[in-house]
Structures are given as C-alpha cells and as structure tokens.
Amino acid sequence: MSEKSTLVVTATPNPNEMESVQSYLQGVMPLLTGAGGQLVKRLKVENQIHGNSNGMVLVMDFDSDDAVTGLFESDEYAKLVPVRDKGFKEMNIMVTHTL
C-alpha cells in the first residue's frame, strides 16, 4: 500500500474581499472531498511566532499525489482561481509526505 499524500494549504485572506473568500471556500471544499480528500484540520492562526503571517491553515489527506494534482489541474478548479486570487492576499498549496 502506498503512502498517503497530505495537502497543506496556508492562506492569508484579503479582509476587503471576505465575500470572495467565502465563495472560494464554498466552491473548493466539494472539489477537495470529491477527489477523495479527508479533512484532518481547518485552523485559524492566532499567533505568528516567525515568518509570514497566514490567517488560515487547511490539512487534508488524500490517497495519492495524483488525486491532489488532478484536482488542482481540473477545469472545475480553474474556474475558482479568479475568485481565489481576489479573496486571498497569499495562498500556499503544498503536497506533503511524512518524513
């Protein structure tokens, strides 16, 4: 059995575009779960010790890297990109594995 892939997303919402933030989240979550993603945690950053400040963190497990990359390369996700870019000052999307 192959190792699961863990998606980690850090994001800084644009406080002037909270409607776009909500629209993106409502659109992306069904895509993530539809690709087999299992929610591990959704977090709000309360205290930044070091580095760039991000307001939100999402952690999800997937069966494979292909499941994650296929989602982000899909036409359905491409439709959300303009909303994402309007709603967030910064977003980092990473596929990770256990060390």
> Which amino acid does the sequence have at 87?
G
Give CA torsion, residues 32, 37, 43, 49, to 10 deg. Answer: -100
Burial of 34 (0-12, 13-18, 19+ CB in 10 A): exposed
In the chain, what are the domains?
5-96 (3.30.70.100)
User: At how many degrees (to 10) do helices 18-34 and 75-87 cross?
Assistant: 150
Confidence (pTM): 0.91
pLDDT in tens, 5-53: 999 999 999 999 999 999 999 999 999 999 999 999 999 999 888 887 7
